[in-house]
Structure 1
């Protein structure tokens, strides 16, 4: 005997229709703001000549990794390879999308993670939501993003933010909770306010764990670039998608290699922002 079918799909359609009708103006304004951020960051990257940007990126890696010449040389050669393959413009668009998506995801994840670490009811309420966000197939995020924001970079950013946010939130929560209780008691003994305990004790001690969440957020945002290209996000992901559609192995491999190079560079930068003595 077939059980009665619950109208879950119909309920979601009604909810989406209500949001479009009553909150469409808010979504339009939010979408325009995101597009402005992406265009502005992309314009900045395009305004800097490629050789100059390669040099600046290499110096940044050299400085952040505490004078690791090998990584600096890898950064320079990797970005020069991307430039020589004719993928500089798509790479800069991908970098702009990943940067905006990561900033938005962290702007939500870190404060909420700190709040969840200090509130057990909030932590309990967030746990099933984060489980849902992390287990839901990434393609599913594209559907509401397209419905509310159409095609282009904006829905790609929204889907990427939802996909990349959970690890940063979880690790921020975990890092704050793992701060030794003795340090909190010492801060209380000296009469520290909750704000002082947070910014002078908890966050500095939890910073390595928080940065691990930032690193995971960036990597997930990059991994979403190919999927987001299906709804018009553009960038290197679109080059991979075109290579798949045309069965052009060379085109797809070159774009994928450029994504890997950018991922390695961003990974090494975020892993080395916190000095080793702080993570011990």
Structure 2
């Protein structure tokens, strides 16, 4: 009997030992530093609670009017505004208003956090090729990793609640912002950059006044994808305590409530369509404006 016959068993034993070591190290880390890490995210939790209270505790006509105004300024389309109005009125009529507002507040906060983190990373990747080569494989892994896997480390670190769900959603939804920001800046016409150099523009001036404005339509496409991924992940994050439309869907699945599941699912679809149409319309408006300016 050769040593090759024992090779599979040796591999399994080594893998098991490595898994036990990693799991034990992660548990010890969470026990020692979990509370400290949790306190670091207190401002994020406060921002989320403020957004949620603003939408759920304000009079619904005021909230509805504010959303319609945002939809109008983003799209400048009465069709999108009318569709938003009808969708939200139906959501309210079927008693899903509070959960919908909680979902919208979560998507809003997640998108803001993803932009704050993703835009600088995308800009840096467009400027430094070595960073681009390092970050791109990480983004590939993040975009192919099953969404449920993101829940495991945040729950072990922070437990169950809004903030762990928010962090999982941001990690899942941030790659498009980074990729599209990097791509949009790299697609800026080299002749325009050479013209900026001829006028004596500094690196910051070229980025702020030439590259970022011209890359905005592409960046908005990334924002659109981030919003859609956030909405998809918010439903999954309901498993760890994220409030909103995802919780009734999970309840409907576990208790076989067909009507509850369908209504809340349709509400999610309605919100997704509103965000998608408004953000796409805004991106097209930016594109037309830049075509006129640079003629």
Give the TM-score normalised by structure 1: 0.94
Relative to structure 1, the CA distance from residue 116 to residue 14 in structure 2 (aligned partners, 3 Å threshold; closer, same or farther) is farther
Contact 1:171 1:212 in 2 (8 A): yes
Matches within 5 A, 1:127-142: 127-142=136-151
CA distance in 2, matches of 1:124, 1:38: 34
Give the one of 57, 78, 87 matched to 2:67.
57
What are the ranges of 5 or more consecutive residues in structure 2 without an aligned counterpart?
A: none
Give the 3-state SS of the residue equivalent to 1:204 in structure 2: helix
CA positional deviation for 1:154: 1.1
Greater percentage in helix: 2
CA distance in 2, matches of 1:125, 1:99: 29
CA positional deviation for 1:59: 2.8
Match of 1:106 in 2: 115
Match of 1:172 in 2: 181
CA distance in 2, matches of 1:92, 1:20: 32
Contact 2:80 2:278 in 1 (8 A): no
CA distance in 1, matches of 2:148, 2:290: 36
1:145-193, CA deviations, whole angstroms, 9 ceiling, x for partnerless residues?
1111111111111110110011111111111111111111111111101
Give the 3-state SS of the residue equivalent to 1:86 in structure 2: coil
Relative to structure 1, the CA distance from residue 31 to residue 70 in structure 2 (aligned partners, 3 Å threshold; closer, same or farther) is same
Match of 1:278 in 2: 289
CA positional deviation for 1:15: 4.1
Give the 3-state SS of the residue equivalent to 1:224 in structure 2: helix
CA distance in 2, matches of 1:126, 1:15: 26
Find the structure with the greater CA-based Rg.
2
Contact 1:93 1:234 in 2 (8 A): yes
Is 1:203 aligned to 2:216, yes or no? Answer: no
CA distance in 1, matches of 2:249, 2:24: 36
CA positional deviation for 1:33: 2.4
Contact 2:121 2:178 in 1 (8 A): yes
Match of 1:160 in 2: 169
Give the 3-state SS of the residue equivalent to 1:151 in structure 2: coil
Matches within 5 A, 1:113-262: 113-262=122-271
Give the paired residue count. Answer: 279
Contact 1:50 1:83 in 2 (8 A): no
1:196-228, CA deviations, whole angstroms, 9 ceiling, x for partnerless residues?
100100001110000100110010000012110
CA distance in 1, matches of 2:220, 2:61: 29
Give the one of 23, 27, 30 matched to 1:20.
30
Match of 2:80 in 1: 71
Is 1:30 aligned to 2:40, yes or no? Answer: yes
Relative to structure 1, the CA distance from residue 74 to residue 229 in structure 2 (aligned partners, 3 Å threshold; closer, same or farther) is same
Contact 1:225 1:237 in 2 (8 A): yes
Give the TM-score normalised by structure 2: 0.90
CA distance in 1, matches of 2:27, 2:81: 51
Stretch deviating more after TM superposition (130-139 or 57-66): 57-66
What are the ranges of 5 or more consecutive residues in structure 1 without an aligned counterpart?
A: none
Match of 1:85 in 2: 94
Give the 3-state SS of the residue equivalent to 2:242 in structure 1: coil
Relative to structure 1, the CA distance from residue 248 to residue 25 in structure 2 (aligned partners, 3 Å threshold; closer, same or farther) is closer
Is 1:43 aligned to 2:53, yes or no? Answer: yes
